[in-house]
Structure 1
């Protein structure tokens, strides 16, 4: 998502984009036969509205398109709690919009969406191939949000006499011990979604080298999630036991955790690339920020980066005018000014290095990690053809990660996630 709502706003969008649709509506198929009620020459677009991505932002973004084409774009927020919740409900009711922003297709909604594979303008857009379902492509976006990043306080590292960033788990543990002895929270964390998300984020580069496309391996019953994550559960439990992570921080709102890091109270903070925007907005930090890719423990370094397509758009099949809807999406993902505006508003990066404007020092470091990443890999439940055989994985994983704070053993945590996957396949 950004949570920094004030600052949480950036994270909110990312989390929505990362999570597959969790609401399954059996009547979804009814949506393809209705138009959703758009006026002639009007394109209805449902978007994720946040503090910074508000109605004024979206109207300004689409105005050049309206001026050029004579078409009108009606910006709509979700009718429920989120776009992910609202879109399936509106499909069932026959009131779904023409263009949907911020979420990805799943097996239930894909039949209701336009396959964009044949559109020449989609080729080469960020992560287009990563989100293929079979041979079809329903989502197209404007950039990448990488998620396996460790933001760190360079001044704190100097105080703790840490001369270089770690590339192995042993080095990371040694550094956390030095930071603790220097009087800092070694690794900042938070409650809500962030507990489980961080554990996944820091483990992506190592996990995806040990088990490439691990979500597919789980789907094919060649790997258990518990076997894949048990080493990380063990390390995480050790960090909690040694006080490198404050137990009380598991109850913090993510925006409070952001504030702790920004105030210089923590040495390291695992987060996604959207956090760079939070730091940019904070300005005048009392320390210099560094960013590094997590350890890979003896394997090739840096490792693969967990990533999601940023600001995805989809077109509904049976829209009042599929042609006009596709024109709008083409504008949003290919027009240079439109791309620049979206990159700047939501802390998004592009693998090709094009950006929103003059980058900050933090932006430059994140861009360098993205550029050097050997591969961008699926996170959580997965993306496109690389997916787990369950939905709702991220909330359950967070629940299990939080149980490590209350004494559940790493072995029991691994058994719990395997049991849940087996019961929900």
Structure 2
């Protein structure tokens, strides 16, 4: 299939989003019941029941990947509150890691009894493929009934839209709603920096210049575990944003312009990542260390920096307390514009075979309203559309730093999309290639050529 660059231009504003409070945001199955999806899409908003209490006894099957710390805390609390509000509804939750969800969801959706609500990764490999197979229900009628267009900025909603022909995302029908905003930041251990006589870096050069100094003093510069494969996408994406620039990265992901994965900026990013691994700035054998294990080691004092997403703040805070700090990837020059990888969390979607689509949509509405935003904030998460609780966060707290970073990225138009959105097979290609690059089995040139081969194969169809 071919993606038309002209049709993706509306997504180029993805990373310049103004949302409530001045904040901003910016992974071959048998076909499912396409007719069910179509019938739901054509229903007028007035015919939809927005009161689950009238649905009778309902068991709602939900698959999510909110398994870590604050993520699990917020979804558990909101699930409990939803069931308390509607005693006739029982939520049967299946929680999986991102990797497990990505591996098993296609099979579950193609079965006879798929879940009612699932979290689906945006992009070609997941959401677009599910829509094309008729596995998800369009939510436009529900969006009108609940006023989601008034709650969310258009650009956030657009990221969860798929065209009618199933060939691209960013326009067309709405197939999901995301709870949280997110970006890849640089966590640091305040005590470690102080002991080393260092300050949080104010520029990208400050950061990279500190790494050999930290190593020379017998400390681990960057904690990092890539057994789960996806963490390297985030680390590489942060570097690529600095070396290639945000517009090049956007062009690569959205298929606009004449960008290639073998350009000099991307090649330089690959060289930087390979050098970091070779020079020992990561733990030895990082490809065999799990993401959660790396986070635990960082929390226990092993490593000065940790490059990962805002979702990890609530996991790290209980162990680290005041020692934990967070900055957005620093700019080239003091006071310059920042750039980093980010966007919004996986979208909650209603499956086309669900027997309770109205209740499922009401549940998604409940997970994303103003009260839910405050629950997310109080459990250490970053809601896509922050509520009143975000305004009262102390600036020095990890939560306050996280929100401040969100504001800065909005002002600077600094978010670039996740790289694995680029093609239907890009997640597998880039994760395997990054492991090869970090492990020294691929040169930077071989790495970029593999990415370009996948990319070119998709765009030449």
SS in 2 for 1:406: coil
Higher share in helix: 2
Distance in 1, matches of 2:74 and 2:327, equals 32
- The DSSP-based 3-state class of the residue aligned with 1:184 is coil
For residues 31-46 of structure 1, the aligned pairs below 5 Å read 32=36, 40-46=56-62
Which residue is 2:363 aligned to? Answer: 328
Shift in Å at residue 349 of structure 1?
4.0
Shift of 1:185: 1.2
Quote the residue 2:444 is aligned against: 410
Superposed CA offset, 1:81-129 (max 9, x none): 8444554334433322332235446223224322335345212337333
Pick from 98, 102, 109 the counterpart of residue 116 of structure 2: 98
CA contact (8 A) 1:83 1:103 kept: no
Q: What does 1:96-245 correspond to in 2, within 5 Å?
A: 96-101=114-119, 103-104=121-122, 106-110=127-131, 111=134, 112-116=136-140, 117-123=143-149, 124-125=151-152, 127-133=156-162, 134-147=171-184, 149-168=185-204, 170-192=205-227, 193=229, 194-204=231-241, 207-211=244-248, 213-216=250-253, 219-220=255-256, 222-227=258-263, 229-245=266-282
Give, in angstroms, the shift of residue 183 of structure 1. Answer: 1.7
- How big is each residue's C-alpha offset from its partner over 1:359-397, in whole Å with a ceiling of 9 and x where there is no partner? 672222111111111333321223xxxxx2x22423432
Question: Does residue 1:391 correspond to 2:408, yes or no?
Answer: no
Aligned length: 388
From the superposition, tell whether residues 45 and 268 of structure 1 become closer, same or farther in structure 2 (CA, over 3 Å).
same
- 1:421 counterpart = 2:455: yes
In structure 2, what is the equivalent of residue 9 of structure 1? none
Cα 1:53–1:316, aligned 2, differ >3 Å: closer, same or farther?
farther
Pair 120,416 (structure 1): closer, same or farther in 2 beyond 3 Å: same
TM-score, normalised by the number of residues in structure 1: 0.77
Q: Distance in 2 between matches of 1:408 and 1:277?
A: 35
CA deviation after TM superposition for structure 1 residue 232, in Å: 0.5
Structure 2, unmatched stretches of 5+, are 1-26, 40-54, 163-170
Give the superposed CA RMSD.
3.7
Aligned to 1:275: 312
Q: Is the 8 A contact 1:48 1:78 kept in 2?
A: yes
Distance in 1 of aligned mates of 2:96 and 2:398? 36
Contact 2:178 2:346 (C-alpha < 8 Å) held by counterparts: yes
Equivalent residue, structure 2, for 1:11: none
* CA–CA distance in structure 1, aligned partners of residues 72 and 285 of structure 2: 37
Deviations 1:128-187 (A, max 9, x none): 33333323222112221212x11122333333333451423x333211122112221112
Describe how 1:237-316 pairs up with structure 2 within 5 A: 237-283=274-320, 288-297=323-332, 301-310=336-345, 312-316=347-351
1:364 aligns with 2:400: yes
Shift of 1:315: 2.1
State the TM-score, normalizing by the size of structure 2.
Answer: 0.71
Q: Residue 280 of structure 1: SS of its match in structure 2?
A: helix
- In structure 2, do the counterparts of structure 1 residues 30 and 225 end up closer, same or farther at CA, with 3 Å as the change threshold? same
2:64 maps to 1:48: yes
Conserved in 2, the CA contact under 8 Å of 1:187 and 1:266? yes
Counterpart in 2 of 1:77?
94
Deviation at 1:48, TM superposition (A): 2.3
State the Cα distance separating 1:354 from its structure 2 match. Answer: 4.5
Matches of 1:411 and 1:300, distance apart in 2: 33
The alpha-carbon distance between structure 1 residues 261 and 129, as it changes in their structure 2 partners (threshold 3 A), is same
Answer yes or no: is the 8 Å Cα contact 2:178–2:347 preserved in 1: yes
